[in-house]
Chains A and B, each alone.
Chain A
Amino acid sequence: GDSVTQMEGPVTLSEEAFLTINCTYTATGYPSLFWYVQYPGEGLQLLLKATKADDKGSNKGFEATYRKETTSFHLEKGSVQVSDSAVYFCALSDRKAGTALIFGKGTTLSVSS
């Protein structure tokens, strides 16, 4: 079945460092891909998404490119801030509306000043 694999955390960085969180997927079709972020004590929020190959999703300085050839959707940010400390989840879904998301296990990011 479809699945998502994320790099294990925690990831610990200093402020202004470059961030990469790896995400690869296995899917039989052509899924949509998502990154969600969960701040402490809160629910998940959509960070960015991409619906077809070579699409780049971006938001709040974060970017991820849908790479069909490598089945990847790595999350990047050029300069992290302390406020980016959170848990990041990669997810995929079948294009069929109303189907459930398949989430990775999440990667905890901790940014220190």
Chain B
Amino acid sequence: DAGVIQSPRHEVTEMGQEVTLRCKPISGHNSLFWYRQTMMRGLELLIYFNNNVPIDDSGMPEDRFSAKMPNASFSTLKIQPSEPRDSAVYFCASTLRDNEQFFGPGTRLTVL
């Protein structure tokens, strides 16, 4: 079992650039979650999908953020254009039942 896979693990970019974060959930899991973690705000839910359909995106900070899940084995979180305040660790998690979520290792994003 490979667990939840996220790429890249680290991303450094300049303000204004587009950033795409990727997630592969555990095979067979039907719910996927994107979180952002910062020292100031802690762990925030950005968006989650059930059966590839976005259910709640109220946590997405603004229109610069978008997320897609084209199939059950892949999701992306895109920031365009990126800003320094987007610097954070972004986690993806998946679950099948009992709401026990399995987290990926995270992507550390630094926007200069």
Given contact pairs A43-B105, A44-B103, A105 touches B95 in the complex (Cβ within 8 A): no
Given contact pairs A97-B97, A98-B50, A98-B55, A103 touches B105 in the complex (Cβ within 8 A): no
Q: At the interface, yes or no: A42 with Cβ under 8 Å from chain B?
A: yes
Q: At the interface, yes or no: A25 with Cβ under 8 Å from chain B?
A: no
**Contact size class for A?**
20 to 34
Choose the segment among B11-19, B40-48, B70-78, B79-87 that binds chain A (4+ C-beta atoms closer than 8 Å): B40-48
Given contact pairs A32-B99, A106-B43, A100 touches B33 in the complex (Cβ within 8 A): yes
Chain B, 22-33, contact with A by CB distance < 8 Å: what is the 0/1 string?
000000001101
CB < 8 Å neighbour of A44 from B30, B56, B91, B97: B91
Interface residues of B, dominant DSSP = strand
Cα of A31 to Cα of B102 in the assembled complex, Å: 18
Cα of A97 to Cα of B93 in the assembled complex, Å: 15
Given contact pairs A43-B103, A98-B30, A89 touches B95 in the complex (Cβ within 8 A): no
B105 near A46: Cβ-Cβ < 8 Å:
no
Cα of A43 to Cα of B106 in the assembled complex, Å: 6
> Would you give the shortest CB distance from B96 to chain A, in whole angstroms?
8
Q: Which residues of A contact B106 (CB under 8 A)?
A: 42-43
CB-based nearest A residue for B30: A98
> Interface size (B, Cβ < 8 Å)?
24
Q: At the interface, yes or no: B63 with Cβ under 8 Å from chain A?
A: no
Q: Which of A66-113 contact B (CB under 8 A)?
A: 89, 93-95, 97-101, 103, 105-106
> Would you give the shortest CB distance from A87 to chain B, in whole angstroms?
9
Residues on B lying within 8 angstroms of A by beta carbon are: 4, 30-31, 33, 42-43, 45, 48, 50, 55-56, 91, 93, 95, 97-106
Residues on A lying within 8 angstroms of B by beta carbon are: 32, 34, 36, 42-46, 49, 51, 89, 93-95, 97-101, 103, 105-106
The 4 closest A-B pairs by CB, nearest first: A43-B103, A93-B99, A98-B50, A98-B31
24 contacts between A and B (CB under 8 A): A32-B98, A34-B99, A34-B100, A42-B106, A43-B91, A43-B103, A44-B93, A44-B103, A89-B43, A95-B99, A97-B98, A97-B99, A98-B30, A98-B55, A98-B95, A100-B33, A101-B33, A101-B45, A101-B99, A101-B101, A103-B42, A103-B43, A105-B42, A105-B43
